[in-house]
Chain A
Amino acid sequence: MMEDFNSETDSDYTSYWRDWFISSRGNEYFCEIDEEYLTDRFNLTGLNTEVAYYQYALDLVTDVFDLDADDDLREQIEKSARHLYGLIHARYIVTTRGLAKMVDKYKKGDFGKCPRVMCEGQPLLPMGQHDIANMSTVRLYCAKCEDLYNPKSSRHASIDGAYFGASFPSMLFQVYPGLAPEKSITRYEPRIYGFRVHAAAALARWQDQYREDMKARLRDVGMEAKYVEDEEVDDEEDDDDEDQILDSKERVVGDAVSGSMDLGI
């Protein structure tokens, strides 16, 4: 049944199209979708309007493709199959089984490490900014700094973000809250000859206040926003420390007083 397909596509063709797909270069972010999930038509609701040659593409993905097509057509079907696989993938990875597979990949660091220095190599998760195809390419979400990064390799930079979906990382941490890394308040402080720079330092103080406001808000509803630094006994010298927030406020007051003297008051 598979013979003609075999001869056409790839020489090191393994037994299934999906195996070939997820093991080909550039598709490292994808996990393998269960046969069961693929064959349940409910899971594919609405996709027939999204994908050209839907039925052939689905046959190809599920390894029952049996059409004597010419090369052009075969190529198009192949392309459709990849697109279809991506769209199903976005749905699959928010299911229990799909999440578990992606968690494994996450733990292995298959999606790369956060480029932010202060995140200290936190593993990333792929996601899209949109659920609609052809809107944006795949992004990488860092759970430590809660920010999005572009993949560093160009072969990943062309993958459609819709193949992972905008809900995936949030869903993953809802289901596996224990996997969420501890957040840190450490930040980079630009300095010139050891002196902090006013603009950056003022913004940092403002951001610290913003964070304190959030913590207060959460405390009001009986929740605690935890940061790594809260648990450590901080040494007093570090300006970033939580217990220093009050001090720094006093310092701001002091600065402002001297500032007002500049104005001649």
Chain B
Amino acid sequence: MQGMLFAPAFELKSAQMSLMVLSIRRFDLDLLQIEIAQHVAKAPALLKNAPVVLELAQADPAPGAHQVTNLLMRTQAAGLRVVALVADAIGEPLAHAVGLPALTIGPRRKNTGEAPAPAETPESTAPADAATTAELSTGATDVPQPEPTPVPPLLLPGPIRSGQQIYAKGRDLIITGAVSAGAEVAADGCVHVYGRLSGKALAGAAGDVRARIYCLSFAPELVSIAGNFKVFESAPRDIAGKAVEIYLNEGRIDVRPLKA
């Protein structure tokens, strides 16, 4: 015990760690939040709450300190933690202004790989659209068009259990069973849960705002559509345990009971 009193209470160690750099191109807060959230939703295990360093050298238009503060909040809401700014001509004064450290990047990494991709156009996710284009093309031209092959949904029997992650890339996801608390199901298309949804469900993971989530019994921890998410500590009374449809209504998550 005596000895403990004289031992230092801390130790300063040198360590090297690699961090991802979030390099901003178009400085549009709403767009950034949506795109970052989508990116995080694609690889939540890797990215959720990951520490990142913010690089603003290429940001257009160049933001002021107030806007950077806003961006920090948006980034956090979207699922990334900005821990520092890159110490370049633009970043250094801004870092000082928003109270974050400025870090010098080591040997320059090759082209900004981690930067969020510019907005993608959602491709033929709605079967209805695909059908119409197919009809038109057969009538109007004799150039053989490749048949648009419908992508079958990813069909899984439930239950999807705590700790499991399912991602249906480029298609719908159908779970014939429950999704347990602590489980995560995601799809670029719609998510259907024929059972109790107690975990997390993410539809339109690649940004399709028309994607929806359906479940037979509503009790999720979180639902997200195209990066817009809503956390439920407890489900509202009128919809708890009900069969519901979850959709995006002017950028907000809305839940309505399915009529019997």
Q: Are A and B physically bound partners?
A: no
Q: Which residues of B are at the interface with A, using a C-beta cutoff of 8 A?
A: none
